[in-house]
Structure 1
Amino acid sequence: MTLHARAAFLFVMLAAASPAAQAPPAPDLAALVAKAELVDLTHTFNETTLVWPTSDPMRLEKVADGVTAGGWYYASNIVHLTEHGGTHLDAPVHFAAGQTTADKVELSRLVGDAVVIDVSAQSAKDVDYLISVDDLRRWEATHGRISRGSRVLFRTGWSARWPDAVRYLGTALKGAEGVAQLHFPGLAPDLATFLVKERQISLVGIDTASMDRGQSTTFETHRILAAAGVPGLENLTNLDKLPARGAVLFALSMKVGGGSGGPLRAVAVVPR
C-alpha cells in the first residue's frame, strides 16, 4: 500500500472510531494527486502506431473537419484499430477459452500499486532476452518482496525504439514472414508461473509488443497468465520515469464487450 493510500485508510479508520463531533476531516484526494507527478505510459495512437505483422495498421478516417453551414467549426473521425495494436490490454480470454473478456476485467486489477523491474541492461545485450525468476529475485533482494496483488511492470528499454518497426519489432515485414522475424525481449514461462503461484500478482505489463519474446512460437507466458485470469499490458512507455516501488497505476482500456483486449490509456501517479 502506498503512503497516500495508507494515509487515506488511516483517516477512514479514525473517523469510524471517533464520535461524529471529533471525526477528522476526510482526506483531500484531489490535493494528494495535485502534489504527485502524473506519468503517461501510453504511446500516441496514429498512423505510426505499431501493430502485429498480421494486423492492419491504424487508420483515422476523417468524417468532418471544417466550418458547418451554421457557421461553427466541427470535427469528427472514425478510428480503425485492432484490439492489440499500440499500447493495449490483453484480457485473459485472449489466450484462455472461457476466461475474462475485456469488459469484465476487474478494476481492482487495473488500478493500484505497481512495481517496476528494470531489465534494460540485460535486454540491451540480447534482443531475445528472456526475463527470468533470477531477475525478479535480484530485484527483490534490493527492493523487498513483491506483495500479493501487485501490478508488475517490466522495463526492457524497448519503448525508446518506438515507432521504428525494425528496431522495435525486429522487422517491418508483414504477414507470416514478419512474424518469423520478430525479435524483442519477453517473460520466460517459468517466471510467469512464479508470478502467478508464488507472488499471486494482479497484472503484468511490459514495454515491448508481447509478454512472450518475439521468437516465441508457443506463447506459453501468455497462456500461463491468461489461464490464471491475469491480464497483461503491452507496448507501455515511460517506465523509466517510475520508481521501482511507490507508483500507483491506472490502466483503463476501452470497455469492449466480449473483447479479447483493447486500446489502453495507462497513467501512473508518482508521489513527489
Structure 2
Amino acid sequence: MARSASSSAPGVDARAAWARAWWGTSAAPPGACGASGVCRGERGDARWGRLIDLSLPLSAGSVHFPGDPPVELDGPYNALEGPVREYCYRLHLPTQAGTHIQGPHYFLAAGRPIDTFPLERFEGPAYVLDVRGLPLFTPQSLAPLAGVDLCGAVVLFHSGYMARLLAATTPGELAALVDTKPGLSLDAAIELAGRGVSMLGIDSVGLEPGGDLSYPVNRCLCEREVLILEGLTNLDRLPPAGAWVEAFPLPVPCVEGTPCRAVARLP
C-alpha cells in the first residue's frame, strides 16, 4: 500500500525517539538551543553529533549510470560590467548525478515527484547492513534488523561496490560492473517496505541487481513510496545503528529526484 500524502509523522516520531536516546526526552534540554532556535553544542560534545559526509563529489568525470549524460562544469565566467569581475560557473547534470535521491515518479508515470514529499521524509535513524561480498541481499541479509522498529528509518546497504565503480577507467568497464552489480531482492524490498522503512540507500549506482531489465525492485519501492538513495560513500565509517542520516533533494518541481548532499550525524 502506498504511503499517504501526510506521511511526515514517521520522520517526526523517529527524530523524537533519537532525541530521547540522547537526552531522555523528545526535545533538546533547556539551554541547548540559542535564541535563534538553532541547536549548538560544545566542541567534543558527543550529544550533538559528528558529521560524516556520505556524498560523492560532483565533477566532470564523476561516476554515472551508463546512458545518463555526464556532469559538465563550465567557467568561470563574468557577467558584470566594469572593473570588478565575478567568478561564476555553469553546471550541467542529470537528475541522477552523483549521490542522489529518488521518489515514486522514478518508475511510475503518475508517481509523486520528489518535491511533493515533506522534509521529514528525507531524514531518519540509520541502520547499516554490511552486505559486502553478497550478490543479492535477501530477507536473510536483514537478520541483524530482527525485532527492530523500522518505521520511519533509513536502511543503508554497505556493499563496498562504489570503490570498484570509482576505479573503472573506461565506459565499457563501468557498464560491465553495472550489469553485474549486487542488489536487493524483491522479497527483501517487500519486507522492508512492509515494516515502514522511509528510505533505502546503497553505495552503488542502484539498489536493483544488475541484469534484470524489468526492474521489479525499483517498481516495488516506487509503488510503496519508499525513497531510494543511491551513490553513497563512506558507509564503512558508520556504526550498524545509532547514526542519523539526512539527504535533502533540491527543490526542483515535477522531477523524480535530484542530486543531494547526504550526511550522517553520529551521537
CA 1:114–1:200: 2 relative to 1, 3 Å = same
Aligned to 1:114: 126
Partners of 2:145 and 2:72 in 1: how far apart? 42
Residues 54, 179 of structure 1: 8 Å contact kept: no
* Matching of residue 239 in structure 1 with residue 238 in structure 2: no
* Matching of residue 62 in structure 1 with residue 75 in structure 2: yes
- Number of paired residues? 244
CA 1:12–1:67: 2 relative to 1, 3 Å = closer
| SS of equivalent to 2:171 | coil
Partners of 1:33 and 1:249 in 2: how far apart? 20
How do residues 88-103 of structure 1 correspond to structure 2 at under 5 angstroms?
Answer: 88-103=100-115
Aligned to 1:195: 192
The one of 120, 125, 131 equivalent to 2:137 is 131
Shift of 1:180: 9.9
CA 1:97–1:116: 2 relative to 1, 3 Å = same
Residues 109, 151 of structure 1: 8 Å contact kept: no
Identity %: 30
CA 1:26–1:180: 2 relative to 1, 3 Å = closer
Partners of 1:192 and 1:140 in 2: how far apart? 14
Letter of the structure 2 residue corresponding to residue 237 of structure 1 = T
Partners of 1:117 and 1:161 in 2: how far apart? 19
Which structure's residues are more often helix, by fraction? Answer: 1
CA 1:98–1:68: 2 relative to 1, 3 Å = same
Calculate the TM-score normalised by the size of structure 2.
0.81
Rg larger for = 1
Unaligned runs of at least 5 residues, structure 2: 1-13, 34-38
The one of 70, 94, 97 equivalent to 1:85 is 97
**Could you give the per-residue CA deviations for residues 122-151 of structure 1, whole angstroms, max 9, x where no partner exists?**
23xxxxx111110102x235xx52422211
| SS of equivalent to 2:41 | helix
Aligned to 2:25: 10
CA 1:55–1:4: 2 relative to 1, 3 Å = closer
Calculate the TM-score normalised by the size of structure 1.
0.80
Aligned to 1:217: 213
Partners of 2:244 and 2:43 in 1: how far apart? 11
Letter of the structure 1 residue corresponding to residue 60 of structure 2 = E
| SS of equivalent to 1:113 | strand
Partners of 1:238 and 1:107 in 2: how far apart? 24
